Amino acid sequence: MVAAGIARSEGFALHALTIDYNQRHAVELQAAAQIATALGAVRHVVLPLDLRRFGGSALTDDIAVPKQGVGEGIPVTYVPARNTIFLSVALGWAEALGARDIFIGINALDYSGYPDCRPDFLHAFEAMANLATKAGVEGDRFTIHAPLLQMSKADIAREADRLDLDAGQSWSCYDPTPDGRHCGLCDSCRLRSKGFQEAGLSDPTRYAAAPGS
């Protein structure tokens, strides 16, 4: 949401892409649709790509989502090659559209240790994109924008506030409750709550349990 809000503020027309990868937290698909409408996206494509067929993650397999707090190392919520897959799909659509700017909301500071949220990954993918496409080899180069890359979660919360975005529309939780609340205990909920607290902003999120409890 915030990455798209920044893109809009910089004058880009938005073409929003959501991957329905049969993720545990499929409620985020509803949030994505609501946000795309609120931001005035020209088009919002929801693309089915069932990564449960591969498994290997607590988000796509019968593996419990950790609730004990943010730890060290790469957690089991890591989905194998997820951002590489998502950016590759976005690259294909961008080339078909004639668009050369791709925005992604990855963050390298307050994150859960995922290797595909690092600057090195971003730079490598951009180089690959310009080697792997007709547009790239003909000199019509792609730029991968990650405006949240070096922001803390508090910075991101402040940026949403600055852009007058409704943070309550956004979704973070990896293991939502049946009644549609954030669990409050997974890594993503803890980092989200921490961000609002450190930013000094009201957290509009409905948690089933107080984050950090």
CATH of the domain at 190: 3.40.50.620
Written as one letter, the residue type at 63 is I
Structurally, the chain folds into a number of domains equal to: 1
Q: How many CA atoms lie within 13 A of 197 on its CB side?
A: 9
Average pLDDT for 150-174: 96
The answer on pLDDT for 144 being more than 80 is yes
Residue 80 lies in a domain: yes
**Helix 153-162 crosses helix 187-199 at what angle (to 10 degrees)?**
60
Residue 180 lies in a domain: yes
What does the pLDDT look like over 51-66, one tens digit per residue?
999 999 999 999 999 8
And the tokens for 200? 């000094």
What does the pLDDT look like over 69-101, one tens digit per residue?
776 788 899 999 999 999 999 999 999 999 999
Written as one letter, the residue type at 71 is G
The answer on pLDDT for 111 being more than 70 is no
Residue 107 lies in a domain: yes
Strands (E), 80-187: 101-103, 143-145
Residue 187 lies in a domain: yes
Strands (E), 36-89: 43-48
Residue 204 lies in a domain: no
Residue 51 lies in a domain: yes
What is the predicted pLDDT for the residue at 113? 78
Residue 205 lies in a domain: no
What is the predicted pLDDT for the residue at 213? 63
| Domain carrying residue 66 | 2-199
Residue 172 lies in a domain: yes
